[in-house]
Amino acid sequence: MLWQVWQVLLWFPVLVVLMSLIEHQVHQRLMHKKPRFLFLRRLAVRNKIFMSHAVDHHGQYRKVFHDEPLPHGEDRGIRLNLREGLIESLPVSLLLYCFSTTAALMFPIVVCLHHVLWNQVHMEMHKPEDRFFSSWPLYKFVARHHFLHHRHPNKNFNVALPIGDFLYGTIAKPTSADRESMKSESWSR
């Protein structure tokens, strides 16, 4: 029993880092780049991913980082779907099963925790409702990090946990214009 507790404690941070790396790569390669191969360009779902994020989301929030809160259901473009996340976690869990049953079972839980955290943080950034964490220094850090992603779309691909950005070296350095724009945001104070 004690060994199982240790396994959970040891695997959890590893899986959090893995989730951050996956988020980074999906965001960078699927949401910000048009497909290179012709057969992928013809896939409607692949084009929808790119258009929904790179064109619609960045188009709406590039100049104005946030706007009024939306009714539930109208916020699909800025939320992650938990059910889809669970389904998408299964291939990774199968690979993890080769190393550890514990890790394979924990990964979908980490994905769900990531998606819940990501949704809350991302909604507060773009549709502020003064959530309980909005004054926390850690939230202010990730809000600035994400704000810079909208100013520099080829940088800062992680939203809730920017571990992947640090490891891949895709951290945006704010310009003086960026710093000036951030001063008007509630999370910059």
Residue 44's domain comprises: 2-188
Predicted TM-score of the model (pTM) = 0.84
Domain count, the chain: 1
Check the CA dihedral 68-73-76-82 and report its sign: positive
Summarize pLDDT for 27-70 with one digit per residue, the tens.
Answer: 888 777 777 777 766 777 767 766 666 666 666 665 556 655 55
The alpha carbon of residue 22 and the mean position of all alpha carbons in its chain are separated, in whole angstroms, by 9
Summarize pLDDT for 133-145 with one digit per residue, the tens.
Answer: 999 999 999 999 9
The mean of the pLDDT values for the chain is: 85
Residue type, 62: R
**Cα–Cα distance list, 55 to 1, 51, 159, 172 (Å):** 50, 5, 18, 20
Share of the chain above pLDDT 90, in %: 54
What phi-psi label fits residue 70: left (phi over 0), alpha (psi between -120 and 50 degrees) or beta?
A: beta
Range from 8-17, 35-44, 66-75 carrying the lowest mean pLDDT = 66-75
